[in-house]
Amino acid sequence: MKDRLTAEDSILWNNVILGDQQAYRELYDIYADMLFRYGLRYVKDTSTIKDCIQDLFTSLYHHRHNLARNVNIRFYLLRSFRRKIHQVVKKNAAVLHTASPEEYFSIVYEPDAEQLQIAAEQQQEMLRLLARELNELPARQKEVLFLKFNCSLSYEEVAGIMKISVPTCRTLAYRAFRQLRSNMEKAPLLPLMFLLMAWLSRQHYKF
């Protein structure tokens, strides 16, 4: 797995382990939005997502003395959060009106008025088409692309979070792109993918 542990990350993480409240708040501020966006792919109930985020960071603080010192923070938090959100979705599937986490992963494009004014109408339609085509893909293929392009992870890191092999991860991505290219022959797929993921990154965690 690619090592992305920078000197700043190492200092921040070690300060969290030492119980530094400022470091703990900084860690939360940096990663809460990313976890929130990831949670939205599984369930639309924002209160449930926020509860999972709070639970993750509370558990992290209480068990900080047992944390390994040399970790990839983004990878660690995403993997831990995925486990929590899966547990909640499985437990409350009927209440949340969603499928099992293995079957459900949604990428929706709903631009606000400001974005509609800024972006060209043709581009907006292409992004809607891409989101629609993405949601025709199997859930695991969508999740690989989301983690790869929205969370900026390597295939090795994505595979670790999803608990699959790296070859399987690459195969899922390849099949996803093959289907997208087949259904969107004239569209600039990669630029549109980056634009869509950039839009998803604007979905912030509201306190």
Q: Convert the pLDDT of each residue in 150-174 to its tens digit.
A: 898 999 999 999 999 999 999 999 9
Q: For the residues 130-137, what does the mean pLDDT come to?
A: 87
Query: In terms of C-beta density within 10 A (0-12 exposed, 13-18 middle, 19 or more buried), how is residue 177 classed?
Result: middle
Percent of the residues in the chain that have a pLDDT greater than 90, as a whole number? 41
Nearest Cα residue to 200 out of 62, 90, 40: 40
Element (H, E) at 206: none
Query: In the prediction, which pLDDT does 153 show?
Result: 92
pTM comes to 0.75
Residues of 125-137 as b/e, b for ≥16 C-beta within 10 angstroms?
A: ebbeebbebbeeb
Element (H, E) at 93: helix 93-96
pLDDT, mean over the chain: 82
Taking only the tens place, the pLDDT of each residue in 58-84 is 999 899 889 888 889 999 999 999 999
The answer on pLDDT for 30 being more than 60 is yes
Element (H, E) at 134: helix 121-134
Q: For the residues 163-192, what does the mean pLDDT come to?
A: 89
The answer on pLDDT for 105 being more than 50 is yes
Q: How confident is the model at residue 190 (pLDDT cuts 50, 70, 90)?
A: confident
Cα Rg of the chain, angstroms? 18
The answer on pLDDT for 52 being more than 50 is yes
Q: For the residues 27-54, what does the mean pLDDT come to?
A: 90
